[in-house]
Amino acid sequence: MVYVQRTPPSSTPRLPWGVTVRRLTPEHAPTLAELGTDAAWIHSTWGGPTALAASGLGWAALRKDRILTVACAYLLSSTYEDIACVTVPEHRREHLAIACVTALCTDIAARGHTASWSCSRDNRPSRLLAWTAGFRLEREYVHYVAGSPTRHDHLTA
């Protein structure tokens, strides 16, 4: 599913005490790496945490020096910036993602680009975050995967 930001976010979140949202800088690279392998996909299109931190195209919610949420331009084109967001599990439902996405979308608009959001139909949390951030469904598409199917030694009915 592909969404495009069409309206402003439905609300401005109130952040928990001690949490700030700010643009990633090169100094944040080690902290991005500390997010671990489960969150490494967020910087994979950049070639790693150092490149994302230096890009100027990411925003994070931080408490002290620990990153709790990251939102960044995941894929770039001449018109669109498709964004991605990840929150560490123990800090979900604290409105950190919407705060980071809102800051990132403001930044994208200032560059004269359009923010877009892509996710699976089955990813309800992602779709809800997109909707809350003002994204509206632009189109649905089918994603095909090529290659060998997974081998099953025992098939059950």
Closest alpha carbon to 45 in 87, 75, 2, 11: 75
What is the rounded (10 degree) CA torsion for 7, 13, 18, 19? -30
What are 64-86's pLDDT values in tens digits?
989 999 999 999 899 999 999 99
Which segment of 14-18, 52-56, 114-118, 143-147 scores lowest on mean pLDDT?
143-147
User: Residue 145: is its pLDDT beyond 70?
Assistant: no
Contact 95, 110 (CB under 8 A): no
